[in-house]
Amino acid sequence: MAKSALLLGASGLVGGHCLKRLLDDTAYDKVTALVRKPLALHHAKLEQQVVDFSRLQNYAPLVKAHDVFCCLGTTIKKAGSQAAFRQVDFTYPFETAKIAAANGAEQFLIVTSLGANPASRIFYNRVKGEVEAAIAPLAFRAVHIFRPSLLLGERQEFRLGEKLAERVTKIFSFLFVGPLRKYRPIKASVVAAAMIAVAKRNLAGNNIFESDQIQALGSAR
């Protein structure tokens, strides 16, 4: 039986690839994208819902699907402050997860980051770890957490720091072997492929996938 999917972050790097794959996948007959503004995309399976993420409770009946894919994320620079960053990377995913769980969603899949840890001294990693910890106990059959390394792909906005890091890591990629393999940069398209592959496995419980595991899952034929 075909399932329904709910996607957050459809206009982002991983979310954009995730949306395309979900629309092409016969395992899903309906894909709902929660967006701040309409996407320039039309598809028979796609239903776009324009929402105010700061008032998600007002849209609770829309936050309903078998599988929820959360690809929301920003940077402190783009958000403008640590508080604004936390709102996008913690509050929005957590509030969505709570509503989705209450509405009977079976799986919640979220992209966080390599190094996510609620005890980290690094603000970015700490927030990513906190959202993982907050969502894990919710009443889903399964919560899948994806911790990619540096993401490769064409973003809508230019990020100098990421471009420099991408060049450096490509030059020294031969050093990322063994336990360091998870630090290799990874294509956003591979992360999206891994998320959908995991969703179709019907696993249970809380599962964390580090970047090297994501690479293997998203590259498998």
Catalytic positions are 124, 128
Residues 6+ apart with CB under 8 A from 30: 2, 4, 5, 45, 47, 65
Q: Which residue bears the tokens 């996510």?
A: 116
What are the distances in angstroms from CA 147 to CA 37, 111, 192? 27, 6, 12
Distance CA 188, CA 13 (A): 6
Please report, for residues 5, 23, 34, 48, 49, the alpha-carbon distance to residue 62 in angstroms, rounded to integers and kept in the order given. 12, 18, 9, 10, 8
